[in-house]
Amino acid sequence: MSAPEWLERAIFYQIYPQSFYDSNGDGIGDLAGIAAKLDYLADLGINAVWINPCFESPFRDAGYDIVDHCRIAARYGTDADMDRLVSEAHGRGIRVCLDLVPGHTSDQHPWFARSSQPERNELSDRYVWTNNPWVKRDGDIDFVSGTTDRNGAYAVNFFAHQPALNYGFANPVRRYQQHYDAAGPRATRAALKSIMAHWLGRGVDGFRVDMAGSLVKCDPEQIGVRAVWRELADWMHNEFDDRVLISEWGRPEIAIDAGFDVDFLLPFGTPGFDALLLGPNTFPPRRAFPYFDDQSRGDFGRFYSAYAFQRRRIDGRGYVAIPSSNHDISRPSHGRDVADLKVLYTFLLTWPHVPFIYYGDEIGMRYVSDLPSKEGGFERTGSRTPMQWDATPHAAFSSNPKATPYLPLDPAPSRPSVAAQSDDRDSLWRHVNQLIYLRATERDLTASARLELLTDPSPGYPLAYRRGESLVVIVNPGPTAAQVRLANLGDVNPVLSHHCRVEHSAGFRVRVGPSGYGVFSVT
Ligand code: TEU
Ligand code: CA
């Protein structure tokens, strides 16, 4: 089953709903607020959005603790607001993906209340329960007990208030462990299908799937979880045309094999994401420096070996997605200035993958350190501050300037804003906008168009690569000018370049300055 064609040109924008735009003045971003900003997204060149969970929840994990998967949380609006948002977005050629959280619910979900009852009932097997209330851990699974009258302990999927739904075990070895094809796990799968069908039936274009690899327990070879997702993915692709499944798995070679269309490179699973973007002063921190490092201390080869392995294994059946950042990690501007970010985006938006831009990254919003945790964010809270629309004290985040926003705004007087950048031809926003335009119009910048490295990937300062037949890209992160000689490329003309020159004398010498980049057409 090949992935939907529209992914070839997709440029996703991740929206944290509570922090994007507050349309009704209560200080919390909402669905009508997203609808009000669709023209902004269309002007930026975005053609797909992923909205973090916006369903009924006690919000102890910012909405990843759900009590009703088929109802929009009152603080974001109504189901009708979602219908309006989808229709308005489609009217602008923007697809809408929601966040599917299949692995767990809130412990306040009605399913859990019923499943926690001592006497056996139709939902006793909806979660993973031991038959012994004193179990704290079994293998790699944590358990919690004492919070209900059921004579057992329940498996935890993330926080203690997020009981794991029962999709079964790949290799059951204890009496309480059911095979993933047993009746209980199959009923859970059926319940997940009805949640998916509910939103797909309302025109949603697909899902980003939370902790996709967590469903089947004791599954070291991920045989069971692949079988479960293959059934769900085949069902969805057969029942609903042109919809996508995007996994938070971090193992594209497994996720695509399991039926997903796209899998993220992330700070866990494959090492590719770390090698590009994470280092000693990011969150999560890493010992080694990333390739996009302001002192050129990284090594593109660390990324490229992981990426090339994934591409070989995926073999055209799906896509890798490299996000600029997301709601769980520090923003790319952490430790990088605008010049560094322009080089990073030149790579992110010309490399073969499906790009995801996290809201605010297009203007270089900062990761705000040391914020008090909100709704289970902890260190992640710094990447979830309100969108900065203009330079007024409240950044025009809310229709009510007096409203207390969901989180404090970035306090820096120099904080970036859309208003200050969208008309500035040298701004980061304009650079991202130009690259998105290129990606949308150049036939050699589709997600699958051919890639040929023109320089050694290690350490990769500078790095040059060819896309398709007609484009050559050069990036040189860091403070040191560099030059490299390329093979004869034919006639070379700059499309978008900064401190980057290709000289025709004696072959092709590329001179590129500190934080230089260039996109050249070759004929
Ligand atoms: O994240 C799962 C996950 O593994 C990462 O969140 C990471 O391990 C964690 O943030 C510590 O860095 C997903 C969602 O993205 C996250 O926001 C949720 O909190 C989590 O699942 C539970 O649903
Ligand atoms: Ca609001």
Q: What would the pLDDT profile of 445-498 be if each residue is shown by its tens digit? A: 999 999 999 999 999 999 999 999 999 999 999 999 999 999 888 888 999 999
Residue 210 CB–ligand 1 contact under 6 Å? yes
What is the per-residue burial (b if ≥16 Cβ within 10 Å, else e) of 139-172? eebbbbbeebebebbbbbbbeebbbbbbbbbbee
CA of 16 to the centre of ligand 2 (A): 13
Sheet holding 137-138, edge to edge: 137-138, 141-144, 154-156
Half-sphere exposure of 412 (CA within 13 A, CB side): 13
Residues having C-beta closer than 5 Å to ion ligand 2: 22, 24, 26, 28, 30
Tell me 7's DSSP state. Answer: G
Q: DSSP 3-state assignment of 171?
A: coil
CA of 98 to the centre of ligand 2 (A): 19
**301: amino acid identity, one letter:** G
Candidate from 54, 100, 105, 158 with most ligand 1 atoms within 8 A of CB, to mutate: 158
pLDDT digits (tens, 9 = 90+) for 53-65: 999 999 999 999 9
Ligand closest to 77 (CA) is: 2
CA of 394 to the centre of ligand 2 (A): 14
Ligand closest to 22 (CA) is: 2
Sheet holding 244-247, edge to edge: 319-321, 262-264, 244-247, 206-209, 95-100, 48-51, 12-15, 356-358
How remote is the C-alpha of 123 from its chain's centroid? 32
Residue 158 CB–ligand 1 contact under 6 Å? yes
Ligand closest to 66 (CA) is: 1
pTM value is 0.98
Residue 294 CB–ligand 1 contact under 6 Å? no
Report which protein residue has its CA nearest ligand 1's atom 18.
Answer: 64
Residue 358 CB–ligand 1 contact under 6 Å? no
Report which protein residue has its CA nearest ligand 1's atom 6.
Answer: 328
H helix runs in 264-331, sequence order: 272-277, 300-314
Residue 61 CB–ligand 1 contact under 6 Å? yes
Distance between CA atoms of residues 290 and 286, nearest Å: 9
Bridge partners, residue 472, by sequence: 466, 520
Confirm if 451 and 466 have CB atoms less than 8 A apart: yes
Ligand closest to 64 (CA) is: 1
pLDDT for 227: 98
pLDDT digits (tens, 9 = 90+) for 4-25: 999 999 999 999 999 999 999 9
The total of other beta-carbon atoms located within 10 Å of residue 318's CB is 28
Residue 328 CB–ligand 1 contact under 6 Å? yes
Burial class (CB in 10 A: 0-12, 13-18, 19+), 309: middle
Q: Among 218, 220, 215, 303, which residue's Cα sits nearest to residue 259? A: 215
CA of 328 to the centre of ligand 1 (A): 6
Q: DSSP 3-state assignment of 399?
A: coil
Distance between CA atoms of residues 334 and 336, nearest Å: 6
Report which protein residue has its CA nearest ligand 1's atom 4.
Answer: 211
pLDDT category, 179, cuts 50, 70, 90? very high
Report which protein residue has its CA nearest ligand 1's atom 23.
Answer: 64
Residue 283 CB–ligand 1 contact under 6 Å? no
Q: DSSP 3-state assignment of 479?
A: coil
Report which protein residue has its CA nearest ligand 1's atom 11.
Answer: 328
pLDDT for 505: 65
Report which protein residue has its CA nearest ligand 1's atom 17.
Answer: 328
Ligand closest to 60 (CA) is: 1
Distance between CA atoms of residues 106 and 162, nearest Å: 5
Alpha carbon distances (Å) from 189 to 200, 203, 207, 209, 215? 16, 21, 16, 14, 10
Residue 379 CB–ligand 1 contact under 6 Å? no
Q: Among 354, 511, 314, 272, which residue's Cα sits nearest to residue 10? A: 354
Lowest mean pLDDT among 116-130, 379-393, 478-492: 478-492
Lowest mean pLDDT among 394-403, 421-430, 482-491: 482-491
Burial class (CB in 10 A: 0-12, 13-18, 19+), 413: exposed
- Percent of the chain exceeding pLDDT 70 equals 99
pLDDT category, 1, cuts 50, 70, 90? low
CA of 382 to the centre of ligand 2 (A): 20
pLDDT for 489: 83
pLDDT for 507: 65
The residue behind tokens 């939103």 is 199
pLDDT for 506: 58
Closest ligand 1 atom to Cα of 64: 23
- Percent of the chain exceeding pLDDT 90 equals 95
Ligand closest to 81 (CA) is: 2
Closest ligand 1 atom to Cα of 61: 19
Average pLDDT, the chain: 96
Alpha carbon distances (Å) from 160 to 259, 311, 336, 453? 30, 36, 36, 46
